Amino acid sequence: MNACIIGASGYSGRELVSLLALHPNVCLSAVTSRSLAGSPLEAALPRMRGKAQNLSFSSPNPNELAQSNDLDIFFLALPHGTAAEYASPLVEAGKRVIDLSADFRLSCPKLYEEFYGAPHPAPELLEKAIYGLPELHALSWEKSKLIASPGCYPTSILVPLAPLLEAGLVEREGIVINSFSGVSGAGRQVSENLLYCERNESAAAYGLPKHRHLSEIEEQLNLAGGEEVVVSFHPHLAPMNRGIATTISVPAKGKLNTQLIEDCWAKKYLGRPFTQILPSGEFPDVAHVNGTNRIDFSVVADGRTGRYILTSAQDNLLKGAGGQAVQAMNICSGFEETAGLP
């Protein structure tokens, strides 16, 4: 399978380069970047020396890429709004597309406009897209040629929380979520608040009270719970390069029993290679998952408040971005789910 990464110079794009260049079932055939067009891949990404010989960045042209006969799958590692400009001609041409932006994660164009501040650039494709969280949704190219890879924060929340709402073990109201992300989650753009001296030895909330990912989180939780779910979501930037640590406080429905929670997870994620349920009282740590496509999670009961406290940790650039996209490709293409993934 010949793959193309559009927007390969960003953090998520670079992770995709590393994964696909060594994937046993994929040939990384093209990488695009407006800023690096003409540059050899190995010069721009020195860690790829000896692994991507004769491959250079090209300037992306949506229509030319759509007409290509020697590329089988396209990964869009582009900002929201821009990704749709490429997805539209590619999908129309019958190409397989995995989009890492937010452009096709929501089903409602009005919701997209509310949270992203602009009309949806390709609303006609929303019904065709599949939300690509492999642990929660059945994925296949037969269902759709367009997969919307989930956001990093939503993944860290949905994996532990969605099955509990689906099983009716927790209440739909009063859910409070705190997440801490490494600075790479903000992308590679130049910004004063992302400078080393600003972020080192510093941690702060941002995007309150309606971070963009809140729309995606609540839409997926609504689907899991079968009714409207409203959460209070508080993201923070932490002084680390990568990783997401999330804590979810959720009211129990009925008597507290952590074994019920763990049994629910074990049933839901039976045979899933990238979910790791930790014993109650053992808390996930980003240091233990960074560099992997794994998400660790656990539960403790708070008898004083009648709540479960769920915690999770993942690598925001792998399970929260590039790794999850490759995982989805593997499943849809009939490869081993773990192929090419750490």
The catalytic residue positions are 152
- List the one residue out of 155, 170, 263 whose CA is nearest residue 225: 170
Kindly give the residue spans of alpha helices, DSSP state H, lying in 69-175. Answer: 82-92, 109-116, 152-166
- Exposed / middle / buried, residue 46 (Cβ in 10 Å: 0-12, 13-18, 19+): exposed
**Cα angle 321-322-327, degrees, rounded to a multiple of 5:** 100
Question: In which element (H, E) is residue 14 found?
Answer: helix 11-21
- How many residues does this entry show for the chain? 342
Rounded to the nearest angstrom, the gap between the alpha carbon of residue 311 and the centroid of all alpha carbons in its chain is 17
Q: How far is it, in rounded angstroms, from Cα 261 to Cα 73? A: 38
- For tokens 């494709």, name the residue: 125
Tokens of 44: 């721009």
Tokens of 56: 């250079």
Q: How far is it, in rounded angstroms, from Cα 90 to Cα 6? A: 12
Residues forming beta bridges with residue 313, ordered by sequence position: 245, 296
| Other CB atoms within 10 A of residue 287 CB | 11
Rounded to the nearest angstrom, the gap between the alpha carbon of residue 4 and the centroid of all alpha carbons in its chain is 19
Q: Are 148 and 126 in contact (CB under 8 A)?
A: no
Distance (Å) of CA 30 to CA 7, 14, 26, 33, 92 = 11, 13, 12, 10, 20
Q: Are 76 and 99 in contact (CB under 8 A)?
A: yes
